[in-house]
Amino acid sequence: MPYSLFNLEGRVALVTGSSQGIGFALAKGLASYGATVVINGRNREKLAAAVTELSDEGYKAHASHFDVTDIGAVKTGIDKIEAEIGAVDILINNAGMQFRAPLEDFPDDKWQQLLQTNISSVFYAGQSAAQHMIKRGRGKIINIASVQSELARPSIAPYTATKGAVRNLTRGMCTDWAKYGLQINAIAPGYFKTPLNQALIDDPEFSTWLEKRTPAGRWGNVEELVGAAIFLASDASSFVNGQVIHIDGGITASI
């Protein structure tokens, strides 16, 4: 059956920063195709609520509480998942943050926090998971990039820099690890209705501008990212490597 190309039964998927928003939607999507999902985050209460919601719907879900900006915690956390839940077949590096300020006044502490959260975490989790995956000769890593991997807007230059780095780290991971049987790709969302974007969603002027700027004429819904994640996590993408798939309603295709 064609479905078998996308079947994730028997596979374990770790999604970082997945107690809400895009990460939770991706975890739920992978679970709906049979994966056992591991929800990660720093807030224990949110983690517990996310796992309960998935479990109540009949999905296989676990919580893993560690800080993705702490390399020691990441290594310990992934080793524990491998030992207690199962081999991590799929890693989605979703954890991320945003902070807006004029570049000339951008606070140094927020610059450092953006670097750690948006790019160092991808390196830490990617490397830690890959060390296990390489031994098995297989594995899927999906990094969450952004339209800001290609474009810039006022007041978010540091965020743009981190997401550009995610794009090229994805290519670098592919270049180093494809020979071991790993597929490493990225999804680059456009503007989606998430808690991270709530301030923009609530701004009528920005929403009007975005709807005019986007060929599809609207914000994206997080569920619209799930299909690409299932494709990249499954056997259907066995020869797809080092690619960035933009899911943005066409915003990067037009001027």
Instruction: At 49, list the tokens.
Output: 């609520």
Asked, for residue 172, whether it belongs to a domain, the answer is yes
Q: Looking at residues 17-41, what average pLDDT do you find?
A: 97
> What is the rounded distance in angstroms from the CA atom of residue 189 to the CA atom of residue 205?
21
The number of domains in the chain is: 1
Q: What is the pLDDT of residue 194?
A: 87
Asked, for residue 181, whether it belongs to a domain, the answer is yes
> What is the rounded distance in angstroms from the CA atom of residue 134 to the CA atom of residue 204?
48
Asked, for residue 130, whether it belongs to a domain, the answer is yes
Q: Phi and psi of 158, rounded to 5°?
A: -65, -40
Range of the domain at 186: 2-249
> What is the rounded distance in angstroms from the CA atom of residue 164 to the CA atom of residue 179?
24
User: What pLDDT digit, counting tens, does each position of 42-57 carry?
Assistant: 999 999 999 999 999 9
Q: Return the number of other C-beta atoms located less than 10 Å from residue 222's C-beta.
A: 19
Asked, for residue 10, whether it belongs to a domain, the answer is yes
Asked, for residue 255, whether it belongs to a domain, the answer is no
Q: Of 60-74, 138-152, 165-179, 187-201, which gets the smallest average pLDDT? A: 187-201
Contacts for 72 with CB less than 8 Å, ≥ 6 apart: none
Per the residue annotation, which of 59, 124, 159, 191 is the catalytic one? 159
Which CATH number does the domain housing residue 60 bear?
3.40.50.720
Q: Phi and psi of 230, rounded to 5°?
A: -65, -45
Asked, for residue 191, whether it belongs to a domain, the answer is yes
Cβ–Cβ < 8 Å for 92, 15? yes
Examine the residue annotation and report whether 159 is marked as an active-site residue of this protein: yes
Cα-based angle 10, 11, 14 (whole degrees, multiple of 5): 145
Asked, for residue 254, whether it belongs to a domain, the answer is no
The C-alpha R_g of the chain, in whole angstroms, comes to 17
| pLDDT exceeds 70 at position 1 | no
> What is the rounded distance in angstroms from the CA atom of residue 67 to the CA atom of residue 41?
7
Asked, for residue 9, whether it belongs to a domain, the answer is yes
User: What pLDDT digit, counting tens, does each position of 199-230 carry?
Assistant: 889 999 999 999 999 999 999 999 999 999 99
